[in-house]
Structure 1
Amino acid sequence: MSALLCVCLSGCSLVKLKEESKTFYSSTVLAGYVSSAAPWDKPIVVAAYSTRNGRLEIAHHTVLHEAGGYELIVQKGEYGLFAFGDANGNLRLDAGEPVGDYAPAPVPASGTGAVVNLDFVISAKAQGAIPPGTSVAAAASGNQHSTQVGAIAKLDDALFSSESGRRGYWAPVDFFKEVGGNIYFLEEYDPRKTPILFVHGAAGSPQDWKYFLQRLDRSRYQPWVFYYPSGASLDSMSYLLYWKLGNLQRRYHYDRLYLTAHSMGGLVVRSFLANYGEQFPAAKLFVSLSTPWGGDALADSGVAYSPAVIPSWNDVRASGRFVQTLFQKPLPRELDYYLFFGHAGRYSPLRPASNDGAITLASQLRPAAQSEATRVFGYDADHIGILSSPEVFAQYAALLKAADKRDRGGDAARNGNVRVAFSYARPDEHPASPPVLVLTPTDPARERIVLPISARDNGRALGPFPPGDYNVGLLAHAFRATPASMPVSIGADGVADLRFLLTPQGTLSGYIGADATPADNPAGSFRRHRRDIQIESIVLTNGEDRREIRPLDETRDRTVESYMAGRDYVFNTFFSFVGLNEGSYELTIKVAGYQPYRHVYQVVPGKYGYLTPIDLSALK
């Protein structure tokens, strides 16, 4: 982190650095899921565009090796989205290739945060807005590697070079546009092996883990690497990690996951686990190495005195919001956490305290981090050397084996399965957003199980699940499932067969976002819910249909159950209307102390429209 005071030595000019920071804080990430109406096993190109003088201008494009999640970064403005199957890899829509565009369009990008759930389908049906011959880039110069989660890569690929990793630190927007941010596999997925996610630190790359990966027992474990622009906001990268792991969960249904992070990567992982870990019960083990849990005072100096500031510096500051609030939420209860630290640094004017050559011991051993660690291990290693220490890896391997024994102990009981089959009332219309299987135990003391699934899972046995009695339903955005749910007994070695019929319905949902500046809600980050307001009523009307919902005095969120049962619902500041007819609707929200919020939305059954966080700041 001493490089904070040596910007000119990075090879990145101050002018470029200023430009990168300005662009990052005026950008929005657009994310969603592309599915195919018919089987498609070749690459898919996804692009965001604006229109000028009747011509499409591509703002950003990405390539997926298969249908699934995508991410695009754009400046403030309005954009259309399209995707097509790229059979020959020329980055151009050719005759006969499946294509689709997102509707309703255009999608507004505020220049902050993320707009998600921009899901759509590619099919052989022609799209008038995207004519054959449309190209996103020259094949020789355009991005060709896949940014779809689970893409297979080799550790020695130029994509993972140390030079590329440094570029992700000094030029995060350029990196995201050209490389993306992704979880890569180093081998084909194997359900018999436990996945271990490795997360690098500032200016790092997956190659930093070479020593660990060469010694990892590959007969028992499969390595995944999270490669991200480390100069970006840590809130943004934490949300990106959540999005990527969620898509992997939908694709592979892994039931066990270990996470290992170095340096700043530990901050990203802990933020992810604290904010979203409850949705990932598969996460069983977290090991951090040389993480600056207390921040870095040099980052404070860099922000205060440098003429150009990398976004992640704001988060690594010891006095900054990210570090100060990092431990407000605990880690998931079922997760074991181990803290590794190094102390082989020497005294220097920049590091007068005990350190590992980059991070002080006081920061690595922040009391809050120590208190939640199952054990703390210290080594005579510096900040980089800890990743190639035989003693460190030996202890790490022992922790993996211990986690295996602890984890596998309860697996004998998790041997019940369900087979889910779903069909469509209108064969030519199916959800752009993949469905979610919801298993609600009849015993209120047990936790509900939510399993994202995909078209690949239609008719397949899913599980294993703990034996017991459940009410099981299927949730698909903008579709109604019949039956809404059904009682199921999951028993040892048994397979319960379930069938659902999905019918298009109109829906509208959203939430009131917390007040936020661009620095609080940078590109790719999730804008949190508003907690300090009192909603009086939410009314939706189109002249023929009038719906009104008011908050109930309850502490449990019943959004999922209400949606599946076909009931309008509001909890805290999130609301959902279901079973709407096609048409134009006016939404009116009355909040104590504010002028009423009014806006008109178009509702189309079978089309799940995004709704950006509602901003009340101008209505005070």
Structure 2
Amino acid sequence: MARLLVLGLLALLGGCQLLELDRQYASAQRELLLIPGTLQGSEQALVALLDPQARLLAYRIVQPGGLFYFSMPAGDYQLLAFSDRNGNLRLDADEPHHWLPQARTAPFRVQPNAEQRSQLGQLNLLQPELASHSRATPPALDLSQAYRELPRLQHNYLQVVDFDDPRFSPQRVSQGAWQPLDFLSEVGYGLYLLEPWDADKEPIVLVHGINSGPPVWRELAEHIDRERFQLVLFHYPSGLPLNHSAYLLGEALRDVQLRHRPQRFHVFAHSMGGLVARRAVQLLSAGGGTDRQCLFLTLATPWDGHPSAADGIARAPVVAPVWRDLAPGSQYLQSLFATPLPAHISQWLLVSYSGNSRLLEQPNDGVVPLASELRAAAQDEAQRLFLLAEDHTSILASPRSQELIRRALSELPDSGCR
């Protein structure tokens, strides 16, 4: 599990996993491309990616001024953006839209920095409110049919599973860490349910950490009131750059709100999952995407990164992109607290401090340095901070954790967040 950071980085530097990871990314740079852009205007828009025959391939929900991107095999693509003013997920004749029959593309980049992302965003500027006067007739577009047209969504989006689903197996967990592009091809990102969607329940989104999967939540899930709360499992390959997983988690949560309109929702995360989830919440907050999020609770999250990631960058012949994000002082970690989360979101930090490992110089929980869990910026934003006499994994099965989660949920008001 997350112990990979301590043991794996030291034992596998230059090993076959790293070589395979390098091969995967080299292959991606040869075979994939990016279709990036920026939405201009004053309204949220749905941005659809179409093939040359105008068949839907994917879509994004984009806020005004927001950057978006799609990673696809080399080829020709169209972009069609529209302001869905009546909320029916279809492009109607009177709705502002912008159609680019020949979308501009860019070479695939594994980990573009902020300046590069901004430059990529200029490739396809979408202006539905200004472009609607064009005489060109756009293709018919009905995103309400997306879950019948896109096979991956039929299997991975709000489908009912259990914790023993083969997609969550140890073999798939390892694949997500070391062969993430194979994982994307064979499994893909997922947002799963443990019971059918119930509009009367409040969703709690559970985000796992590195070299891990949804089953880590099994014991805590047994102690959450399932009559009141809907558990939603986010599944992602932990070997990919964190910004990519955060972006897609944010997109998934926008989609849930667009289609199901929950009155409020909450996000819980363990270990590195907290780094993914916080960035997703930051991205969501643009355009009011977190107006209904009330609680953000993290367990054993390395807010200040991990020294073994820096060691891997310094010593390994091949560098895993996720190490760059996890290295103390990385651009990703700096960005996490550059913008505070909205004040109405109650932030709870559960910190583990037992199980000290001699593989780390600093006091730690067996995997993560205590100082990283207690990053000052994370403490400053937290409404509640608790230190638990647990190690990095036992915190997920701790009676104390169960009690604190019950307390956090019971303190929510009858309606709204504060």
Query: What range describes the TM-score normalised by the shorter chain of this pair?
Result: 0.7 to 0.9
Contact 2:18 2:320 in 1 (8 A): no
Q: How does 1:228-307 map to 2 (within 5 A)?
A: 228-277=236-285, 278-307=288-317
Contact 1:21 1:310 in 2 (8 A): no
1:304 aligns to what SS in structure 2? helix
Which residue number in structure 2 is paired with residue 408 of structure 1?
415
Please say if 1:74 is aligned against 2:81.
Answer: no
Taking the aligned partners of 2:374 and 2:29, their CA distance within structure 1 comes to 32
Cα deviation per residue 1:123-181 (whole Å; 9 max; x = unaligned)? 9xxxxxxxxxxxxxxxxxxx867366323323211012232122111122221222221
Give 1:357's aligned amino acid: G
Give the CA deviation at 1:216.
Answer: 1.8
Question: Cα 1:333–1:316, aligned 2, differ >3 Å: closer, same or farther?
Answer: same
Please say if 1:108 is aligned against 2:113.
Answer: no
Q: TM-score, normalised by structure 1?
A: 0.50
Give the CA deviation at 1:122.
Answer: 6.6
Cα deviation per residue 1:164-209 (whole Å; 9 max; x = unaligned)? 1221111222212222213212221111111000000011111111
Cα deviation per residue 1:15-57 (whole Å; 9 max; x = unaligned)? 312112334566446699xxxxxxxxxxxxx99879xxxxx9x
Give the CA deviation at 1:106.
Answer: 6.0
Give the CA deviation at 1:310.
Answer: 1.8
Residue segments in structure 2 that go unaligned for 5+ positions in a row: 38-47, 62-68, 80-98, 110-116, 127-137, 143-150
2:211 aligns to what SS in structure 1? coil
Contact 1:21 1:311 in 2 (8 A): no
Which residue number in structure 2 is paired with residue 160 of structure 1?
168
RMSD: 3.6
Give the CA deviation at 1:286.
Answer: 0.4
Please say if 1:22 is aligned against 2:26.
Answer: yes
Taking the aligned partners of 1:279 and 1:409, their CA distance within structure 2 comes to 15
Which residue number in structure 1 is paired with residue 94 of structure 2?
none
Q: TM-score, normalised by structure 2?
A: 0.73
Give the CA deviation at 1:368.
Answer: 0.8
1:4 aligns to what SS in structure 2? helix
Correspondence for 1:397 among 386, 406, 410:
406
Q: How many residues align?
A: 345
Structure having the larger proportion of residues in strand: 1
Contact 1:48 1:79 in 2 (8 A): no
1:180 aligns to what SS in structure 2? coil
1:74 aligns to what SS in structure 2? strand
Structure having the larger proportion of residues in helix: 2
Cα deviation per residue 1:518-566 (whole Å; 9 max; x = unaligned)? xxxxxxxxxxxxxxxxxxxxxxxxxxxxxxxxxxxxxxxxxxxxxxxxx
Give 1:256's aligned amino acid: R
Taking the aligned partners of 1:144 and 1:246, their CA distance within structure 2 comes to 18
Give the CA deviation at 1:330.
Answer: 0.4
Taking the aligned partners of 1:212 and 1:379, their CA distance within structure 2 comes to 15
| Stretches of 4+ aligned residues off by more than 4 angstroms | 23-32, 46-50, 113-117, 119-123
Q: How does 1:70-219 map to 2 (within 5 A)?
A: 73-75=71-73, 77-80=74-77, 104-105=101-102, 108-112=105-109, 121=140, 146=154, 149-219=157-227
Cα deviation per residue 1:240-295 (whole Å; 9 max; x = unaligned)? 11111111111101120110000111011111222332422011000000000011
Give 2:269's aligned amino acid: A
Residue segments in structure 1 that go unaligned for 5+ positions in a row: 33-45, 51-55, 83-101, 124-142, 412-620
Correspondence for 1:387 among 361, 381, 396:
396
Taking the aligned partners of 1:120 and 1:169, their CA distance within structure 2 comes to 39
2:411 aligns to what SS in structure 1? helix
Cα deviation per residue 1:325-363 (whole Å; 9 max; x = unaligned)? 321100111100000011112241x31211011100000
Contact 1:149 1:248 in 2 (8 A): no
Give 1:328's aligned amino acid: A
Higher alpha-carbon Rg: 1
Taking the aligned partners of 1:247 and 1:410, their CA distance within structure 2 comes to 21
RCO comparison, higher one (Cα < 8 Å, 6+): 2
Taking the aligned partners of 1:48 and 1:163, their CA distance within structure 2 comes to 34
Question: Cα 1:323–1:159, aligned 2, differ >3 Å: closer, same or farther?
Answer: same
